[in-house]
Amino acid sequence: MAKKLGYDDTPFLPDSKYRVHDPNRPQPRVVTPGEKSGEPPSDAIVLFDGTDLSKWVSSKDGGEAQWKVENGYLEVVPGTGNIQTKEHFGDCQLHLEWMAPAEAEGESQGRGNSGVFLMGLYEVQVLDCYDNPTYADGTTAAIYGQYPPLVNACRRPGEWQTYDIIWEAPRFEGEKLVRPAYLTVLHNGIVVHNHVALLGTTGHRRLPEYKPHPPVGPLMLQDHGNPVRFRNIWYRVLTGYDQE
């Protein structure tokens, strides 16, 4: 007989079918972490492992993604347009690594600009802001046009940087927004957004706004004219507690 692990004479937790220390509460699923921090854990869905762009298409026409793959990374080919995943997904934990060109050319929004668009609509800015001032809500790791990062955690251009992003998609009922999107972002392991409620989709020189869209969407990477590199891109689907 299995050993009883909890108590069945304790009070029920508020809004829950489980008691405090409930022996029947489902065990958390076992996930094997990657060998090193940042490596995909056992339940990750890998979007780019350094070899090819088979999981990606051009955002323009849905055709083949035209960015360059070499030496384990992919690189923006300026002028070919944004690329996006074939797969569509909602709430997730996303990891990726990026590098701005070692040769820091241009200034403000013109230096190492790209972007990570959750569901193709909500941008976490990629930009080289190591000693490169620009407007605050367009800085590296800004939720573009809405929130500057809490701190500037940039490494030098030519060095790999990490984004770890926790994304909660907005919820709509018909035409109505019933819960905004939420973002938590770590840049190089440093919290730069802490569960912040987004004001809407990303725009340039306009107010963010919500328009109803499906509960899932593609991950999109931006061609902003600079040869920014990406590698080790994976996500995990985020579920609530007590999922079996």
CB of 101 to Mg ion, least distance (A): 14
CB of 62 to Mg ion, least distance (A): 22
The reply on whether position 40 binds Mg ion by CB under 5 A is no
The contact mask relative to Mg ion for 69-108 (x = CB under 5 A, - = no) is: ----------------------------------------
The contact mask relative to Mg ion for 205-244 (x = CB under 5 A, - = no) is: -----------------x-x--------------------
The reply on whether position 115 binds Mg ion by CB under 5 A is yes
- The region of 30-38, 115-123, 189-197, 231-239 touching Mg ion under the rule CB under 5 A is 115-123
- The region of 24-32, 121-129, 164-172, 203-211 touching Mg ion under the rule CB under 5 A is 121-129
Select the residue whose beta carbon is closest to Mg ion and give its number: 115
Q: Between β-strands 161-168 and 56-58, what pairing exists: parallel, antiparallel or unpaired?
A: unpaired
Buried residues in 116-145 as b, exposed as e (16+ CB within 10 A) = bbbbbbbbbbbbbbbebebeeebbbbbbbb
Binding footprint of Mg ion on the chain (CB under 5 A): 113, 115, 125, 222, 224
